[in-house]
Amino acid sequence: MLFDTTFHQRNYFNSSMAGQQVRVGQFPIRNEESRIIGYLSVGISRQESTIVLKNLRTTLLVAFPFLLIVLYLATSFAASQSIQPVNRLIKEMGQINDATIHRRLPLPQHKDEIHQLATTINELLRRIESGLFREKQFTSDASHELRTPLAGIRGTLEVLVRKPREQQQYEEKIGQVIREVDRMNQILDQLLQLARLDSPNLEISKQDLELLPFLGQFQEKWKALVEEKNMHMHLDIPAGIHIRTDAVFLDLILGNLVGNAIKYGRSGGNIVCRWDAATHCLSVIDDGPGIPQTHIPKLFDRFYRSDESRNSRVQGSGLGLSIVKKLTDLLDIRLDLKSGETGGTSFLLFFPN
């Protein structure tokens, strides 16, 4: 049995005995004077722990690469499964263009981050589709409605160049051309108003407005056109009535409604602006021929004319009431209409309290 007798500082060390590894603990033996008179050595076999460590090393050398491979395959599969919804979204987005802008991305079953992403993209597509629709509608409306006055201008000029005419005839035809140009300007102004109203960045400036003075100024502005048709405009508005709204937009609303009443009202008739305090309602009433019930559901559509003819004696584009509907929606004003074939039409504006 061999011992490291030079070992003084450490209490434990490894050694071997009969070909086996042992762990030796060496403890000094002291006498009554605390002098070291010898050492007590205790040895424990390390054979079993050595075998366990060798087996563990062998197991790790074999199992660790296998576990790495399994872990790699598992994570790759999990990653591919988790990225699959994104790949589907990418594929669906690649198939959406101007012609298929109405399509929407499929929503995943689980309401996770991918679901939120798809929902956000669908909302973006909806806004883009709405913008494209407004652009196409504006182009279609403009080209469709401007075709009629352009055709009238062309026809008038063709008549003029066929043969020499009297100065009075030239003046009459040129007057017709000027009226058609004015009509085109009015149509373009109304189309631009509708385009601006469709803009999501439209600013609304509501303020406290006293109704009677406002309508008094409005009445004065329309006085010439009302008198031209020998009509009368009355204000049945109590003093001290205040509403909170956008004055510019309200002026446009009333301008279209009164203009509509002047165009379709009878000569010598009346236009009344009346306030109902109980319902918080401003009414624009005329005593014209009235509107058949079959036309009322479509009356606020663009270019719809209740007289069933664009070439009727009443000039108009069918855009005024569309502008009114847009503006009332923006100002949270409920718009209603009462009319009948026997005569008289009332446009009702219910203001929020």
Determine the pLDDT at residue 283: 92
Strands 334-339 and 345-350: antiparallel
207-350 folds as: Heat Shock Protein 90 (3.30.565)
For residue 255, what are the CA distances in angstroms to 140, 142, 164? 25, 22, 43
Torsion sign over Cα 150, 152, 158, 161: negative
Count of beta carbons in the 10 Å neighbourhood of residue 328: 21
Angle, alpha carbons 46-50-53 (nearest 5°): 140
Q: Looking at this protein, which amino acid is placed at residue 299?
A: L
Classified by CATH at the fold level, domain 113-197 comes out as Helix Hairpins (1.10.287)
Calculate the alpha carbon distances from 79 to 71, 73, 117, 266, 319 in Å. 12, 10, 18, 76, 56
Domain ranges of the chain: 12-45, 113-197, 207-350
3-state class (DSSP) for residue 307: coil
User: In this structure, what DSSP letter does residue 272 have?
Assistant: E
pLDDT confidence of residue 38: 81
From 207, 208, 352, select the one nearest 280 (Cα to Cα).
352
Q: How far, rounded to the nearest angstrom, does the alpha carbon of residue 303 sit from its chain's CA centroid? A: 25
Residue 306 is predicted with a pLDDT of: 55
Q: Which of 152, 218, 227 has its CA nearest to residue 184?
A: 152
Answer for the pair 302, 289: CB distance below 8 angstroms, yes or no: no
pLDDT at residue number 138: 66
Query: What is the rounded radius of gyration, in angstroms, for the C-alpha atoms of the chain?
Result: 46
**Cα 193 to Cα 141: distance, rounded to the nearest angstrom:** 13
CB 331 within 8 A of CB 321: no
pLDDT at position 334 is 92
**pLDDT of the chain, 353 residues: tens digit per residue:** 344 444 444 577 777 777 777 788 878 888 888 888 887 878 777 777 777 888 888 888 888 888 889 898 988 888 877 777 777 878 877 778 777 777 887 887 777 787 888 888 888 888 888 777 767 776 776 676 677 678 778 888 887 888 888 888 888 888 888 877 877 777 777 677 666 776 666 777 888 989 999 998 888 888 888 888 889 999 999 998 999 988 888 888 888 888 888 888 888 889 999 999 999 999 998 888 877 777 777 777 765 555 543 334 444 456 778 888 888 888 899 999 888 767 788 899 999 87
Exposure class string for 105-132: b at 16+ Cβ within 10 A, else e:
beebeeeeebeebbeebeeebeeebeee
pLDDT at residue number 148: 66
Short-list 174, 172, 181, 171, CA closest to 149: 181
**Rounded CA gap, 279 and 328, in Å?**
16
Give the model's pLDDT for residue 141.
65
